Structures are given as C-alpha cells and as structure tokens.
Amino acid sequence: MKRQLLKRILDAVRMGLSHVIGYLYQKRQVIVYSLLMTIAVVYLVYVLGYSSNWALIVSETRGGNFFRASQQANHLMFQLALLLVLSNMLLLGFGSMSRKKFYVSNIVLSVLSSLLMIVSAVITYYYNGVLSRMYARLTPEEIDPDLYGFHGAGAKSFKVFEIGNVLAVVMIVIALIGILFLIGKIRAQKERTKLIQGMVASYER
C-alpha cells in the first residue's frame, strides 16, 4: 500500500517535472531574451548606486586616489551599462524575443549584446578587485573613521564589491546561455532551410 502510494507520488512528480521542463524548453527564446534584458537593467541600477557607499565620505581632498579611481571606474561602467540596455532594447525592437526566423540584424544584435555583457562583467570584476584593495588601504589619517557613522554607512562596507562580483558571474553565465541559444537557433534554421529545399526539389521531380 505504502509502496503504491510512493510510486504514485513519484510518478506525479516525474510527470510534473516533465511538463515544466517541456514548457520551459518551448518558451526558451522568450526566457533567454527576457533574462538578457532583465540583467542589463539590473546592471544599470547597480552602476547608478555604485558610489553611494562612499559618495559623502571620500573626495578630492579625502582619499583622493581612491576617489578619482572610483569615479573613472563608475563612468566607464555606466557607459557600458547604457550600451547594454540599448542593445537589448534594440533586440526587443527587432522581435528577437518571439521571431521564429532570425535575420542578420537579430544575429548581430544578439552577439553584440552577449559580448557587451561579458565585457561589462569582466571590467566590473577587475575594477572591484582594484578598488576594494584601495578602499581597504584608506587610513584614518586620510578618512576620519567618524565620517562612516555620520553618513549612515556605520563602518567601511565592501558589500558593493561583493554584490558586483556575484552580478558579474551571473552576467557571464546569462551571456553564455544567450550565445548557446543563438548557435542552436542558427543551426535549426539551417536544417529547416535544407529540409524545405529538399522537399521543393523532391516535388519538382
């Protein structure tokens, strides 16, 4: 009795998982391009708040080297984030989320978006490594420790770097998923074209 009940439960779970996987596979194009757009927006939001942890603490006269380096990094990451969001908006505009047949514009924009995402992730990871070490080396002589409390941080926080590094890894994974999907899409289109050409040639005979 118990074995039969357990078997039914396992069969139900297996069937449910099969339906879920089948549905996700069927909607994979929508999911992939939704992920690309979502992570691009998340990255833009991250970049916009990048310097908020130390914005009121460091300046040209307090921790000047770190201030200038963080400004440079933030400016570059902001430019990349804008390009990333723009490329993904163009992807949606050209119907990449739902189009059955991809044209050159869809392929080029998909490659561009994925490469931009990888470049943005690598640059973010690199700058976070450099800036976190510089931030850690700021001495009490350069920055009065009380300033961290006065401006709400409480103490030196490295969370912005930690969050950015995790986000960078996620961006690379999603970009690679996008590239793999595109490769599969192009292969499927080529196979479909060959099949249609074969059917036409067979019909003409």
End-to-end Cα distance, the chain: 63
Residue type, 157: S
Indicate the angle between helix axes 104-136 and 64-93, nearest 10 degrees: 160
Which residue ranges make up each domain of the chain? 2-204
pLDDT at 51: 78
Q: For 102-108, which contacts have Cβ atoms below 8 Å and span 24 or more sequence positions?
A: 102/182, 102/185, 102/186, 102/189, 107/182, 107/186
Which pTM was predicted? 0.82
pLDDT by position in tens, the chain (length 205): 666 767 777 767 777 777 777 766 678 898 999 999 999 999 999 999 887 767 666 765 566 788 888 889 999 999 999 999 999 999 988 888 888 888 898 999 999 999 999 999 999 999 999 999 988 887 777 766 666 655 555 567 788 899 999 999 999 999 999 999 999 988 888 887 777 666 666 666 6
